[in-house]
Chain A
């Protein structure tokens, strides 16, 4: 190790400094305000304004919360897969950007699990009065349960593999596997259940236009909420990564001072 008077010159790490600008904060505050307002409108539409459904009555109103979660739970896995592929592509080229992709991957996986869990729970609550059972093993619920299992196992594997670069790589690979598996299991379970005829349940067909306002307001509101939480979770993970990198750098510097 060379002396401190010359040789070793520590380069500053290429990290973005924690943003002091108020723009992201104001944007986040505005975004959450809009989300809350839209959710309030959606709640009013779903519970008070939209006409009561003819056969199922008020129970059907849970549908306005079930549908947005079910749809959004199928959108966030795409973000997870794209971010994981980006991580695998960037990890040797630009490690700091790769960590950003990893932060996006973990944020989107967690939100996927939240939305799919809400979708499963609300669906089950609706199924009890509508079908008489909490859980019917029909194609759609089964595929949805498989989706939930895939992303829970992804998060568990992340936890087990530790928060280092190796763990990120393993998690990204699992995410690719999960993303490939989703369409295969969706199709195979659909074929399975259509070959063994199950009763055809209602609610699959058309929706009367008078219900549309509740559906659209709630879908918009929960999408706004989902992307808000995604952004917050991403920036939280990003800060954790920055602190970790700075601590690692300080440890290296400290070790250089001792050994000289």
Chain B
């Protein structure tokens, strides 16, 4: 109970800070919009509606992946300023509560970006789900959590290294391969709707398993990262 309260307090602090500055959300939002526009230059979205439908799931996730990397790199920066992180290290609260609060806050930010990006996708690429559209309500949060939980962890890991801006994608992308595979395939299956309806559930289950495994690993190892020296 106490643990949940500590997580909630960290979450509230991060949300409050973000509400005052709105740096992460604004940056991510514009960045992902730019990625979508650049992709629409790379191929003709209105000329080939079938192709667009087949690849727009991948484009959506790539835009979100890049955008969340830019925000995750900054998410620990405000802890470093004024040596807040050293204070957190000395605090009697469990380290994993700090991590969980931060990851949940990042989840909220990326979800906010998705809520704006999804209508834009419908407008720009003229996509609508031919399969069970409501499945996206499960795919999006699970996929976002898969990116955000590992991303928050590796951003913390890279804090005291050289080239930390570069290190995060270098570590995050290879580790995320199974998750990216699942969320892109699940989203594409829902959008195209031309596969047998069991398939999205299969990818959804894989994504959930990935989330559970890596959330556990992150929570177990975060203390080692925080006190690594």
Contacts and interface: CB of A to CB of B under 8 A. Distances in A.
A185 B213 CA distance: 13
Please indicate which of the listed interface residues B177, B185, B221 has the most CB atoms of chain A within 10 Å of its own CB: B177
A153 interface: yes
Interface residues of B, number: 33
B177 A185 contact: yes
A184 B161 contact: no
A170 interface: yes
A209 B188 CA distance: 45
B104 to A, nearest CB: 20
Contacts, number: 88
Contact of A170 (B161, B182, B185): B161
A178 to B, nearest CB: 7
B205 to A, nearest CB: 11
A252 to B, nearest CB: 18
Please indicate which of the listed interface residues B175, B181, B214 has the most CB atoms of chain A within 10 Å of its own CB: B175
Interface stretch (A57-65, A115-123, A160-168): A160-168
B171 A153 contact: yes
Nearest to B169: A153
Interface in A12-66: none
Interface string B169-195: 011011101100110010000000000
A177 B174 CA distance: 10
A161 B174 contact: no
B174 A153 contact: yes
Interface residues of A, number: 30
Interface in A146-168: 146, 149-150, 153, 156-157, 160-162, 164-167
Contacts of B161: 157, 160-162, 167, 170
Interface in A85-106: 88
**4 nearest A-B residue pairs (beta carbon):** A169-B228, A188-B178, A149-B174, A161-B161
Interface of B: 150, 157-158, 160-164, 166-167, 170-171, 173-175, 177-178, 181-182, 185, 199, 202, 206, 209-210, 213-214, 217, 221, 224-225, 228-229
Interface of A: 88, 146, 149-150, 153, 156-157, 160-162, 164-167, 169-170, 173-174, 176-178, 180-181, 184-185, 188-189, 191-192, 195
29 contacts: A146-B174, A150-B174, A153-B170, A157-B158, A157-B161, A157-B167, A160-B164, A160-B167, A161-B161, A161-B162, A162-B161, A164-B229, A166-B228, A167-B161, A169-B224, A169-B225, A170-B157, A170-B225, A170-B228, A173-B225, A174-B171, A176-B217, A176-B221, A177-B214, A184-B209, A185-B178, A188-B181, A189-B181, A191-B206
